[in-house]
Amino acid sequence: MSISNPGLIFLSAFIVNNILLMRYIGLCPFFGVSTSLTTAFGMSAAVLFVMLLATWVTWIIHRFILLPLDIVFLRTATFILVIAALVQFVEMFLKKNFKTLYTAMGIYLPLITTNCAILGVTLLVINYNFDLARAIIFALGTALGFGLVIILFSAIRERLEFAPIVRSLKGYPIAFISASLVALAFLGFIGFLGLSL
Amino acid sequence: MKNRVNRLKYFTDGILKENPILVIMIGLCPTLATSTTAKDALGMGIAASFVLIASNIVISLIRKFVPNSVRIPIFIIVISTFVTIVDYVMQAYAPALYRVLGVFVPLIVVNCIILGRAEAFAYHHGVFDSFLDGLGKSLGFTLVIVCMGIIREYLSTAKIFGFNIGPKFLSTNPVLFMLFPPGGFLLIGILKALVNKFINKTPE
């Protein structure tokens, strides 16, 4: 991806290259917590919060510690440990200072460490050679795209609960097939404003 | 001391009864993202299998020295070491494959199958048992991902592993839909439904 216009980076991350439906990153929480609207909201708020923070911190670590010391091969290990520590820290901080925010998204925070969407975005930002501002815009677009799809999809799944479905299709299979149809709709955005997959 | 039948069960469970993808439904991202052709799927399967087996062995070796309260960070360090090895070996010896798999190679580190087995099995069992468990689970993973790769590659190009075998109407009118993300979701939905119907008869 060689675009540098911040608006296009945002749109590309938000819709055209949507992280769940087009890139296939972060699917475990997508199918795990999209069973009801409230859990979907909590999860997307937590992802938005941690993704922005993690992208900011890992970008700085990569540029000012890993690159000057020439230890880029430690990238994967460093990033995942930083994200794990960050999530712990955020959880403790919210518990102490922002009780309401903690009750809204607290239980989703531990799940986020192994959410590949966070690590995926921090790695993609490095691969694309974004500067810090563009990296944050990319993370914002990705997190909002994650939230948009997971909230839309949870509404679909709430309807599916009461739909008469063949027994062997109940649960995951019908969720996958619905996801396929939603992804088909998003496929229509390919080439939108010259953005490609 | 466990008897032989029990040990064999560690191995065979991972392939069918506790298949990580189709029964437990974890490790979905690499499964869907890298199964567009059979060759890429096999590459991903081998890479993830190496990490799973190696980390299972190492974690069961060090399980006596690892304090319970910091076990998860230690598991993550062990796993990310092997992921870094795979990352650099693949970059050096299979650069074409590395370009296709892209960010999914470092993302093996957050593959829930690997951390899940470390936590649920390797931390409580001996080295040989953990090796068998890792082998079984990774075979189950690789089998499913390669099957999906074969089906998607065949329908979208009429080829399997790059060899043209299909009837002519398929190569002139390929089902390009299968190459794109919606095709992957549809295929895994159908496979899961078949597993529910014929193998795992009481779903949920």
At position B135, the amino acid (one-letter code) is L
Q: Between the CA of residue A76 and those of B51, B89, B110, B114, what are the distances in Å? A: 14, 15, 10, 15
Q: Which of A80-84, A167-171, B200-204 has the lowest mean pLDDT?
A: B200-204
CB atoms within 10 A of CB B36: 22
pTM for the predicted model, two decimal places: 0.86
Kindly report, residue by residue over A104-134, the tens digit of the pLDDT: 666 677 777 777 888 899 999 998 888 899 9
Classify residue A66 as left (phi > 0), alpha (psi -120 to 50) or beta: alpha
Answer whether B189 sits within 8 Å of A180, measured CB to CB: yes
A17: which DSSP letter?
T
Angle between helices B181-198 and A172-187 (to 10 degrees): 170
Maximal C-alpha separation, chain B: 61
Kindly report, residue by residue over B157-179, the tens digit of the pLDDT: 888 887 887 777 777 778 888 88
- Give the pLDDT confidence score for residue B70 in this predicted structure: 83
Q: Is residue A126 part of a domain?
A: yes
Distance from CA of A126 to the nearest CA of B (A): 10
d(CA A187, CA A157): 21
- Give the pLDDT confidence score for residue A136 in this predicted structure: 93
Q: Is residue A96 part of a domain?
A: yes
Q: Is A160 on the interface with B (CB under 8 A)?
A: no
Q: Is residue A183 part of a domain?
A: yes
Q: Is residue A7 part of a domain?
A: no
The partner residue sitting opposite A84, judged by closest CB among B33, B73, B184, is B73
- Give the pLDDT confidence score for residue B200 in this predicted structure: 64
Kindly report, residue by residue over A135-173, the tens digit of the pLDDT: 999 999 999 999 999 899 888 888 888 888 888 888 888
Number of domains in chain A: 1
Answer whether B110 sits within 8 Å of A116, measured CB to CB: yes
Q: Which residue of A has its CA nearest to B106?
A: A76
Residues 87-146 of A with CB under 8 A from B: 114-116, 119-120, 123-124, 127
Q: Is residue A143 part of a domain?
A: yes
Q: Is residue A17 part of a domain?
A: no
Indicate the average pLDDT of chain B: 86
Answer whether A187 sits within 8 Å of B204, measured CB to CB: no
Q: Is residue A11 part of a domain?
A: no
Q: Which residue of A has its CA nearest to B91?
A: A73
Q: Identify all chain A residues contacting B26, using CB atoms and an 8 Å cutoff.
A: 28
pLDDT band at residue A68 under the 50/70/90 scheme: confident
d(CA B102, CA B34): 10
Q: Is residue A15 part of a domain?
A: no
Percentage of chain B lying above the pLDDT 90 cut: 32
Q: Which residue of A has its CA nearest to B188?
A: A176
SS3 label, residue B164 = strand
Indicate the average pLDDT of chain A: 84
Kindly report, residue by residue over B109-157, the tens digit of the pLDDT: 888 888 888 888 888 888 898 999 899 999 999 999 999 999 998 888 8
d(CA A126, CA A143): 17
Q: Which residue of A has its CA nearest to B200?
A: A168
pLDDT band at residue A186 under the 50/70/90 scheme: confident
Region A28-38 average pLDDT: 79
- Give the pLDDT confidence score for residue B25 in this predicted structure: 80
d(CA B4, CA B187): 37
Angle between helices B127-157 and B38-62 (to 10 degrees): 170
SS3 label, residue A153 = helix
ipTM, 2 dp? 0.83
Q: Greater confidence, A63 or B170?
A: A63
Range of the domain at A82: 26-193
Q: Identify all chain A residues contacting B110, using CB atoms and an 8 Å cutoff.
A: 80, 114-116, 119
